[in-house]
Amino acid sequence: MRLTVIGSSGSVPGPDSPASCYLLEADDPADGRTWRVVLDLGSGASGPLQRHLPGGDLTALDAVLLSHLHADHCLDTTALYVAIKYGPAAHRGEPRDPVPLWAPTGAAERLARAYDLPEDGPGMTEQYAFGAWVDRQPVAVGPFTAEPVLVEHPVEAYGLRVTGPAEGGGTAVLAYTGDTDDCPGLDHLAADADLLLTEASFTDDLPFERGIHLSGARAGDVAARARVRAVLATHLTPWADADAVLAEVRSRFDGPADLARPGAVHHL
């Protein structure tokens, strides 16, 4: 499977990156077609995402998987809603089933409010088939299996452990933390993963309240404990010292580690 970083900026979009969004693609060995899902669809991500979809068509997505409902992880579902409802395929009258959208509980109401849709209407339920994550109950989308793992954040939030076909044959595991501080769930989420896509919002010396985010050092600790093969650090705030965050990760984890950079493609 292929991971394309669409947006890696933490908490708010940055000058060179939208907020969180990762495109995951894989060819289904069963039917040969390419499946495309996004992990999070945060502020600003729907713009550059179009560069990475066939024909620039946002509706080419097969599913949307949201780690949690903070704005920097979900707000551009409002843009995809418009594309599904009013885009070229809709103009051509092509029928399509609602796009599966998996998220914490309350997503249908939350996203309808985000778009300011009438409270007594269908909201986005004609465009999205909403499903609520249940901790550690995997969901299948084409050749992918996504297991949500409850993590530690001020709202209901999940890391996503995604298994899919490896490019060299067999299966590969991508572990995406979403937003979280260090917690027991991360050991299950990341165990022996081929790639840990971990938030590392800032450096460890900042006097930031615990229970919300990982520092570079704590992200490196998670990677080392879980014996992952490689790390991509992401969700750095635009004001974080990126070199220092990456140095912290590398000080705790001795495998390959880099920053998630918008536009970068990683093969698993």
- 72 scored as a contact of Zn ion (CB under 5 A): yes
Closest contact distance (angstroms) between CB of 44 and Zn ion is 13
Q: Which is nearer to Zn ion, 11 or 127 (CB)?
A: 11
* Binding region for Zn ion (CB under 5 A) out of 63-71, 162-170, 181-189, 254-262: 63-71
Neighbouring residues of 122: CB distance < 8 A, sequence distance ≥ 6: none
Q: Which is nearer to Zn ion, 153 or 172 (CB)?
A: 153
Closest contact distance (angstroms) between CB of 261 and Zn ion is 17
Closest contact distance (angstroms) between CB of 153 and Zn ion is 5
- 179 scored as a contact of Zn ion (CB under 5 A): yes
How many whole angstroms separate alpha carbon 45 and alpha carbon 5?
10
Closest contact distance (angstroms) between CB of 39 and Zn ion is 12
- 221 scored as a contact of Zn ion (CB under 5 A): no
Q: Which is nearer to Zn ion, 26 or 200 (CB)?
A: 200
Residue 120 φ/ψ region, left for φ over 0, alpha for ψ in the -120 to 50 degree band, beta for the rest: alpha
* Binding region for Zn ion (CB under 5 A) out of 53-61, 101-109, 166-174, 179-187: 179-187
CB 75 within 8 A of CB 40: no
- 40 scored as a contact of Zn ion (CB under 5 A): no
- 218 scored as a contact of Zn ion (CB under 5 A): no
* Binding region for Zn ion (CB under 5 A) out of 23-31, 91-99, 177-185, 259-267: 177-185
Footprint of Zn ion (CB under 5 A): 70, 72, 179
